[in-house]
Structure 1
Amino acid sequence: MPTILITGASAGIGAALARVYAEKGWDLILTARREAALTALAEEIWKTHGQTATVITADLADPNAPAQLVAAITERGLTVDGLINNAGFSRTDGFLTTDPAAHDAMLQVMLLAPVALSRLLMPGMVQRGFGRIINVASLAGHMPATGGDTLYGPIKSFLIKASQGLWLEARGTGVHVTALCPGYTLTEFHDVNGSREEVSAAYPAWMWQTAEHVARVGYEACEANRPQVTPGAMNNVMKALAKLLPNGAALKMVGGHAERLDRL
């Protein structure tokens, strides 16, 4: 059975992707900082799908974590056939008022760790002639950056572009690479960054998608070897508008979005 490594697998889109891949017959390696949540998910997956889920805790904010994680996987005699770079978080208090250490952690977890893990694991996939990589980006990566959550969008833009480059390099090797770009998704993400009340009040229920829906769209897109997928018709309309509008108009649009949240 193929085995897939999922970072940030303790909740939200990461956990939903774990359930989808288990349903499709994959064994799993689940990693995040919260061991109890990972263990509970691993037990659920075994009971529901009969798939093995190995739990390895890691804090990807540590620059040494990707290499240590791969070493721990190798020590267990496991082969990684798929990689989902999902771990991430945001800081919405503003660039100038956020602790620089928090920005360093964002860049390490969401940008440098995916690069390192891809570089460590993709050569084996190419050699074996089979592999799957999903980089969980965001609709924000297609939009102009917003004030307040200043680094989040640019980091996700990087993931989209890096995924496109990897997709081009992997053509003909049996390795599929996809950037998954969800919009607003019902997870604990906004609870963690403290914006749940504001975003829930600002946007109607029909704009939100479930983590399970996002995960299934991501799975199907990666199997089809699509370099990028954005779940949801409205999200694709917003992505298209951001590309078509002049820079000034696009910045005004996202600036109005930020001001709307601040007023709530």
Structure 2
Amino acid sequence: MSSTTPLANNPGYVLITGASSGIGAEIAREYSRRGRSLILTARRTDRLEALARELGVNAPCVVITSDLSQADAPRRLFAETQARGLHVDTLVNNAGYGVPGRYLSSDWRVHADFLQVMITAVGELTHLYLPAMEQAGRGRILNIASLAGLVPASAGHTMYGATKAWLIRFSECLALETAPRGVLVTALCPGFTYSEFHDVNGMREKISKMPKFLWLTSEQVARIGVDAVEAGKTRVITGAPNKLVAFLCKYLPDALARALVASKTKDFRDAE
């Protein structure tokens, strides 16, 4: 089955990467509430299956286990959905994590896997699923970026902000290319969000010291993101405090913005 299988006369599925927890799981719940059929993918099969049992009462919910740090994972995931006749008209590139510490505190293999998940897999999955969306004249691509991609860099988690900045620019370019063909693309830029993200990268203790008003729940972020892509917004920042931070970083002199970010991020970012 070719990558350009028409979607127009088939029920479209929402494919969500990194769907086993956090923002990804909440995006699945949000689309399920809207009656959409789902394809859930991540590394943890047990978590995916539990979520599928929860959401399967509303609409079809398919689980496909995949580790996007493996170079062939995007192609295998695409082949599996094609073989099952699951026509994807909405792609949510959500899978992601952080690598704490200095750049040289981790082996290159750790960074290479990180880049595979955060950039290469996103680009390849989009390249695989987009042709059918354009042929059908309808599609949605929601890329989960971060406020970190819009503010000056700081020490620690060296490539995280860089990959999110790439994702934002990729989404903006893609949106201009695909909108005339009926495909809407959105970069969602959350700030601090209650999820397992900070447990996975070992920063829970530090990050919990941040003021409560800066935080949103994963459910709030998911709803904002789904609403944004359905409305055709190219980029959306979650929460008034985060919008203010992005505004200040854009219009303050570069040196001052960098100094402010550096002074604040040392409170919650591991640079050792």
In structure 1, how many angstroms separate the alpha carbons of the residues matched to 2:266 and 2:54?
42
Contact 2:99 2:201 in 1 (8 A): yes
- Counterpart AA for 2:20: S
Q: Which residue of 2 aligns with 1:45?
A: 55
- The runs of 4+ residues in structure 1 deviating greater than 3 Å are none
> What SS does the aligned partner of 2:103 have?
coil
Structure 2 partner of 1:242: 249
Partner residue, 2:218: 211
CA distance in 2, matches of 1:94, 1:69: 33
**What CA deviation, in whole Å up to 9, does each residue of 1:165-204 have, x standing for no partner?**
1100012222110000000000000000000110111x11
Kindly report which structure 2 residues correspond to 1:84-163, keeping only aligned pairs within 5 A, or say none: 84-163=92-171
Quote the Cα distance in structure 2 between the aligned partners of 1:137 and 1:166. 14
Secondary structure, counterpart of 1:113 in structure 2: helix
Query: What is the Cα deviation at residue 146 of structure 1?
Result: 1.7
Query: What's the CA shift for 1:262?
Result: 6.6
Measure how far apart 1:122 and its partner are.
0.5
Change (3 A) 1:218 1:243: same
State the distance in 1 between where 2:130 and 2:191 align.
27
Query: For residues 248 and 180 of structure 1, what CA distance do their matches in structure 2 show?
Result: 26
Q: Does 1:28 align with 2:35?
A: no
User: Residue in 2 aligned with 1:12?
Assistant: 22
Structure 2 residue runs without a partner (length 5+): 1-10
Amino acid across the alignment from 2:37: D
| Partner SS state of residue 171, structure 1 | helix
Aligned partner (choices 204, 207, 231) of residue 196 of structure 1: 204
SS at 2:180 equivalent: coil
Cα distance in 2 between the residues matched to 1:71 and 1:261:
40
TM-score (norm 2): 0.93
2:87 aligned to 76, 79, 89, which one?
A: 79
State the 1:98 CA deviation.
1.4
Superposition RMSD on alpha carbons, in Å? 1.1
Q: What is the aligned length?
A: 260
| TM value normalised by structure 1 | 0.96
CA 198–123 in structure 1, closer or farther in 2 if over 3 Å, else same: same
Q: Give identity over the alignment, percent.
A: 47
Letter in 2 for 1:241: L
Instruction: Give the gaps of 5 or more residues in structure 1.
Output: none
Larger RCO: Structure 1 or Structure 2 (Cα < 8 Å, ≥ 6 residues apart)? Answer: 2
